[in-house]
Chains A and B, each alone.
Chain A
């Protein structure tokens, strides 16, 4: 525009009037150096890089052997005996768990955010603790609770319903444990979604005469569909690649799933990376279809922009006569997901070996396991490293993913869909393959980060990128473009708009993602174990050692300590989070 103005008194300092070509070049150069371009390009590059390293490793290992390109791995893996049953079991287990966690997580989130349900402080614990307890401990705690042979619940209920009422070693038991273990992820996603919704959208449905259930079905649920779809997607893939529950509960009765198969292919030497890759690519295919579907659902994104410029006051709905019912449900859920497993864990941590509770057991209780923990040589370092990595990766991932979500949802940059897919890739890559891929690159890279904490940071950022992306995108879908435009019109630069308007509005989702990543990063083992170096131990390595050592009771003590540490951390995160963004009341 400025160039066609006839000979203006030049305010732009320039030595020579530029010809049309060089002026275009200068403009391109200027626009390339603008913060927006730099940031967007930087984030896209980082995501691409993080995702492509392990993907390339996976693809290469799957399709190339000593003789060049081959599809042998697919033939080998997908023609194995019983592959049909295996896939069937996997899908049943995955969809079952996803559905359970969706129903439980959404219900709780709705009650918590949109109603005057009692016991709200319990939600906090109920949403975090199952996530914090390492999967193996959570699963074993459930064996102690609901095994038909030694389950405490079965012993407790025997006079009422007969022996062995619950059987945890069934597909239903697996779905139960996995679903409950995953429900906090849904809870966090849905809380963010509900919090960003103008309550008058629901109130107007009530005023139209719709019952609460109809309102939820026809108004609330459709409006938070991006979050629901994201939940189903993440939960299904998570359950498909979950290992502990199928290994500890399924194998007992011969229920095999996808991941048991990956385990078998990686177990022997040389590990059948090609086979594992072929299976992982199967997962990837499912996931890509999921991402495409979820984007199609969110395509007409204006339909879900419930955070608009119009002010609203989030006001809880009066549950009326359902309040006590909801209260009882909350207590039951809290007992099932938190109190019972945690009680088993604390109980076990005070014993020398697990026995069913008895007067004898309580008499021999001791704090020896906690003492043993304190004496572990690297306990302090490991805790410190886990904290650095957890907080570091959670912060980095959420910051990058908020820009990435902007690219995918808001920008018109060609190829933005790729960013979305790239960010999703690590979700399906087995931890071991990820670890191998990363160590392969950094053993040969001139950047000397092999053997330092940084390589773990890269691994964690890669692993948790998909979750961060889901949290960020879901929130971004809900923010009206007008808010951004109005900031822009007010004279704010892209970066100012991003920092001052978008980040605060995204913050419920970003904080939820932060908390999720922080929590699960404490448990990350499969790639940490390959990448950490002496002196850089993390807590999960300690857990693994205690586990290998057979010190199950020490492990329980460690689990208790982890729960306490993270509860404190997460409380702080919530408090800080409450100071920014959309306020609850």
Chain B
């Protein structure tokens, strides 16, 4: 009798604690959808209205008064960026790093709970667009944004670099003269089993698919082309593994490698390339902007803005140093002369399921 009582007591305490801890429905969306003014947005508006030296002085003074900055990022080259920033300014920076999905989930969780953990978010386009849609971001304006390539001037956030999806190859397995010049080439049966596709590259797929359709193919023809390439392909998971396996010779060609993965490996001496000895690359190149957004509820809004300034100015060199493609026309020179296709972010956001399913169908048809 006392035992069962004790147990019942235990269970009900647990339940009570638990219920007390969860006030609302755990998976409900953000409570505040419509943008509203906050202390931070006032600061942003004030600084956005300034220009030139006045803006810089004002911003540095205000940011160093705040003295702190919290950034959430999925940018893997963040270390160098933060180092440069803290060397320049007297601001203490704390960084949360995760994959882009975690960054998004964490921001959504925190903001709906009114826990304002971050001042600025640096991540991929799709996640930034979601945050913008949820009304969590505040616009950044100024001369530095004006210098960014058109593809990078998004609503609510600003691109700081581009990921370029290129066709990369192992130079031991693909002899000079044999290199693919376009995606269509890879449908040729001679590539049977030598190609690699990545399971998660829906954005690349969508961009290229729409590009093919714009060029006059029917939807069916575009899909058939993808399936024909997939039939030649081994499916990999993750660009890092794919890059490593390309260097190791597990397959000869990656259809959607990041240019910086290939360049970094080549710098270390791996026998991989995405341009021929003559400098020709397979085209088109799909680019996807990655960027940075200011949090509407930032605790340190000036430091946040100053950090965006830094990424778009001195930071662009750090980006180039990591073999990445910067956002400003100057820093994106690597794209000059190439046919560029941009990832259709809004389409991906609004019809996510359709493109997911389509790409799943493509990858599934491969590698029989």
Contact = CB atoms under 8 A, between A and B. Distances in A.
Interface stretch (A38-46, A199-207, A325-333): A38-46
Contact of A354 (B115, B236, B247): B247
A149 B250 contact: yes
Given A44-B7, A48-B10, A267 B106 contact: no
A84 interface: no
A254 B248 contact: no
B105 A271 contact: yes
A330 B251 CA distance: 35
Interface centre among B244, B247, B269 (most CB of A within 10 A): B244
A548 B356 contact: no
A64 B363 CA distance: 32
B101 A266 contact: yes
A548 B10 contact: no
Interface string A538-573: 000100110111101000000000000000000000
A253 interface: yes
A79 interface: no
Contacts of A580: none
Given A254-B366, A254-B368, A548-B240, A414 B18 contact: no
A254 B237 CA distance: 12
B97 A443 contact: no
Contacts of B5: 28, 32
Contacts of A270: 130
Contacts of A14: none
Interface residues of A, number: 85
A143 B250 contact: yes
Tier of interface size on chain B = 35 or more
A412 to B, nearest CB: 7
A136 B236 CA distance: 13
B104 interface: yes
A412 B115 CA distance: 45
B97 to A, nearest CB: 6
B13 interface: yes
Name the residue in B7, B21, B352 with the highest tally of chain A Cβ atoms < 10 Å from its Cβ.
B7
Contacts, number: 224
Q: Would you call the interface of chain B mostly helix, strand, loop, or mixed?
A: helix
B200 A267 contact: yes
Contact of B234 (A41, A53, A57, A252): A252
Contacts of A269: 104, 126-127, 130, 349, 352
Interface string B93-119: 011111101101110011001010100
A550 B265 contact: yes
B26 A57 contact: yes
Contacts of B126: 269
A547 B26 contact: no
Contacts of A416: 7
B62 interface: no
Contacts of A535: 94
A61 B261 CA distance: 37
Given A41-B7, A271-B105, A545-B76, 7 more contacts: A44-B11, A353-B244, A415-B11, A432-B101, A432-B105, A440-B22, A441-B22
Top 7 closest A-B pairs, CB basis?
A443-B113, A534-B94, A41-B10, A31-B2, A48-B14, A353-B270, A247-B237
Interface of B: 2-11, 13-15, 17-18, 21-23, 25-27, 70, 74, 76-77, 79, 94-99, 101-102, 104-106, 109-110, 113, 115, 117, 126-127, 130, 199-200, 202, 234-241, 243-245, 247-251, 261, 264-265, 268-270, 349, 352-353, 356, 360, 363-364, 366-368
26 contacts: A32-B2, A40-B6, A48-B11, A60-B26, A61-B26, A247-B237, A251-B199, A252-B367, A254-B368, A266-B101, A269-B130, A353-B244, A353-B270, A354-B247, A414-B4, A415-B4, A432-B102, A440-B109, A441-B21, A444-B22, A444-B113, A529-B98, A533-B96, A548-B76, A550-B76, A552-B244
